[in-house]
Amino acid sequence: MTSLTPDQRVIGRENTNTALGVSRRDFLKGAAVAPAAGAYYFGYQSSEPIKAVKAVVIGTGDEGCQAMIRYHNRDYVDYIGFCDIRPSQVKRGEKEFLAHKQYTASDVAKIVDRSKNKYDHDYRKALQDPEVELIVIALPLWLHAPVAIEAMKAGKHVFCEKLMARTVEQCKDMVKTAHETNRLLGIGHQRHYSVLYDNANFLIQNNHLGDIRHIRALWHRNNGQPVYAKDKDGGIQYDTNGNPVIMKDEAGQIVYWDSWKKPIPEDDRSIDVKKYGWNSVDELVRWRLYERTGAGLMAELGSHQLDACSIFLGKKHPLSVQGYGGTILYKDGRQVDDHVFTTFEFPGQAKDDRVIVTYSSINTNAFEKYGEEVMGTYGTMIIEEEKEILLYKENDRNKTQLGGRNMSITMQSGPAGKPVAETSATWSGPSAASSLGGSATADPSRGYREELEHFAYCMRKGDPKNYHAENQYQPRCKGEVALADAVIALTSNIAMKQGIRVKFDEKWFDWKSPETPEKALTLAKNS
């Protein structure tokens, strides 16, 4: 985000601490160091521990291992198996369980044995296992809907990684199936379970920023550095002239680092990919690069940040979107953009008010940290890397603020009885290295642990006769909520591809309506 001096960072942190108050600041601190902080904060800690839910994770790639396995709490979700058609990912899943402190080597041996012999890496066998209560889906995007629907029809509750599905129609089918089968459906937009983001939203809803007119969100990375060949010792290889040797692909193009285009493991080359619906091993391993199997940067990154922006604006749906996307860096024939720039109109407080939200994700510059910058009439709030909140007051923008001087915040009565933030100089207050009031190395939980804990809690506390009845325990990001994130991301892709400004139809956000952006915009294009 915006480049700030060390002094400005201290001020932003101290302003945040003062505005949040002791209890909320301490919860932020607790979210960084206390594993159970989320349970108390989001209200699913009961006097009697729940019985852990028996689960199987399908897909042990990046999200399956790094989020669904690594951060889960076995007291809530007890994995008894996992499935993946890629031998390399099966090995990875086994290593991830071995590294998890709540599982002994004996526990992992049982999980691996069950997975290899009972499921044989066929997820349908796991769906038929009566001991399995929950299916956690961390598969490539195009498989989310068919596997989730199949699992719910088999009587399993489903927690599925984001984006919800490849099309809006599939998303709606998932929600319909959840209601028809009386199963819970949760989607992994973890900011709904982030204590940090909940506190950021608290500041906004309590009018610390005033009227918001603009939100700038971004997730930038720099992959524009060539990959150098390595010598036998693992160092950079040089040619006879002393120049580093740059790697090139089969077509003679320079190879750039790309987490979406990983090397294909030898273990995976023998897979009969056609059997599982894949066109090639390349499509299987690098599925994010293909339009059929993935949905690009807006699905993988933008959906999280537009989700946060929507929450900040009172969970409102956008009115329109326009933008540009292109393959600017990579010239390897990939089907998804490596740069996207989008502009959204959201409704403001008054009838004709507008809040403009811009979102960009690029691959050629990483100067700014990813996050959101929320601009209001009273101040600006920056949320950086899901780690900290920095708060600045608009009235003091021209004042010299040095030496850790804290512009503390008090609330006064304003128009229509709303609280108004005012500033006053003070030398007191914490001057910690982070907004947690503690060590700079203590980062708050990103919500992966909490989203699975709460989902298990809802399974145990909900009414088995009707999980969807009014006032029942529901995941904070259930299917109906995640549908909106999918509509925003997938509509943005269409707007960029067609080069048009798209007005959102509220029917697209209604799971009971058959209307979808794919259907409407395809008809409009062909008319």
What is the pTM (predicted TM-score) of this model?
A: 0.89
Burial (0-12, 13-18, 19+ Cβ within 10 Å), 423:
buried
Higher pLDDT, 92 or 425: 92
With tokens 């994700």, the residue in question is 361
Render the burial of 19-40: b for 16+ CB within 10 Å, e for the rest: bbeeebbebbbbbbeeeebbbe
Per-residue pLDDT tens over the stretch 466-499: 999 988 899 999 999 999 999 999 999 999 999 9
Closest by CA to 136, choosing from 120, 154, 151, 121, is 151
117: its two tokens: 């012999």
What's the DSSP call for residue 255?
P
- pLDDT tier at 397, thresholds 50, 70, 90: low
Instruction: Identify the pLDDT of residue 396.
Output: 60
Cα–Cα distance measured from residue 149 to residue 179, given in angstroms and rounded to the nearest whole number = 11
CATH of domain 6-32+195-222+294-438: 3.30.360.10
- What letter would DSSP give residue 302? I
Question: Across all residues in the chain, what is the average pLDDT?
Answer: 89
Q: How would residue 177 be classed by pLDDT, with cut points 50, 70 and 90? A: very high
Model confidence at 28, pLDDT cuts 50, 70, 90, reads confident
Question: At 69, is the secondary structure helix, strand, or coil?
Answer: helix
What pLDDT, on the 0 to 100 scale, is given for residue 33?
A: 84
Q: Per-residue pLDDT for 278 more than 70? A: yes
Distance CA 204, CA 370 (A): 20
> Quick one: pLDDT at residue 257?
84
pLDDT higher than threshold 50 for residue 2: yes
Confidence check: pLDDT of 144 > 50: yes
Q: Are 50 and 454 in contact (CB under 8 A)?
A: no
Give the angle subtended at the CA of 59 by the CAs of 49 and 34, to the nearest 5°.
Answer: 35
Closest listed residue to residue 426, CA positions, set 451, 401, 389: 401
Using the predicted structure, report yes or no on whether residue 321 has a pLDDT greater than 60.
yes
Annotated domain spans of the chain: 6-32+195-222+294-438, 41-193+449-477
Element (H, E) at 482: helix 479-498
- In angstroms, the CA 371 to CA 220 distance is 9
What is d(CA 137, CA 143) in angstroms, rounded to the nearest whole number? 9
Report the top-level CATH class of 41-193+449-477.
alpha beta
Distance CA 331, CA 319 (A): 34
Residue 56 pLDDT = 98
**Which amino acid would we find at residue 81?**
G
Q: Residues 53, 74, 61, 219: is their CA dihedral positive or negative?
A: positive
Question: pLDDT above 90 covers what percent of the chain?
Answer: 76
Cα angle 512, 518, 522 (rounded to 5 degrees) comes to 130
Mean predicted confidence (pLDDT) in 27-31: 85
Question: Residue 436's pLDDT band (boundaries 50, 70, 90)?
Answer: very low
Q: What is the mean pLDDT of residues 409-418?
A: 40
Q: What is the mean pLDDT of residues 357-361?
A: 98
198 Cβ neighbours under 8 A, 6+ residues apart: 41
Determine the pLDDT at residue 433.
Answer: 32
Sign, Cα dihedral of 21, 27, 32, 33: positive
Contacts of 482 (CB under 8 A, 6+ apart): 162, 164, 171, 187, 189
Distance between start and end Cα atoms, the chain: 42
Look at residue 435 in the predicted model and tell me its pLDDT: 43
Region 379-384 average pLDDT: 96
What is the number of alpha carbons within 13 Å of residue 517 lying toward its C-beta?
28
